[in-house]
Amino acid sequence: MPGTADEQSVSVRVMVNDRAHQLDVDAGEVLLGTLRDRLGLTGPKEACGEGECGACTVLVDGGPVASCILAAGSTNGRVVRTVEGLAGTDELTTLQQAFVRHAAVQCGYCTPGVLMVLTALLDDVPEPTETDVRRALAGNICRCTGYQQIVEAALEAAGTVQS
């Protein structure tokens, strides 16, 4: 159970990218602010700030969430992963490598969120269809790619389509 530090803050113990953190977060603080401003994890981006664009998506207990609208105080005892926590120290994930091969990144602003939703999809559905991929991306706005390269990269990473 979270301990109450005072009326305006909440004490949370949260695992972020395999590191444990004990933090006092403000009552109105959202997870995106905690990650970026306190932990220096600037991969998750803020765009709409209203849960509509997907730029801030991270995984909480393995599922994608819009961190711009999730209360940081609700993450006590939970496991958070950001785009910084996907790759190993010297190797990109299969999905990230496919993004590079397919030029699925242009300006890159949407990319951290897109990678997180697709990582969750591939964890849940090892052989997704194109429809599965497009459905997973429904909450992620990309102004640059037209999505086709992103979809192709996801399908290749899943082994559904061979390059």
Give me the residues that bind ligand FES (CB under 6 A), please: 46-49, 51-56, 66, 68, 105-111, 142-145
Nearest-approach distance from CB 21 to ligand FES, in angstroms: 21
Q: Among residues 68 and 151, whose Cβ is nearest to ligand FES?
A: 68
User: For residue 61, which phi and psi values (nearest 5 degrees)?
Assistant: 50, 40
Single-letter amino acid, residue 83: V
Nearer CB in complex with ligand FES: 142/153: 142
CB of 126 to ligand FES, least distance (A): 25
CB of 104 to ligand FES, least distance (A): 8
Report the residue count for the chain: 163
Residue 43 vs 54, nearer CB to ligand FES: 54
Cα 142 from Cα 158, distance rounded (Å): 21
- Determine the longest span between alpha carbons in the chain, in angstroms: 56
| CB closer to ligand FES out of 14 and 55 | 55
Q: DSSP string of 4-34?
A: EEETTEEEEEEEETTEEEEEEEETT-BHHHI
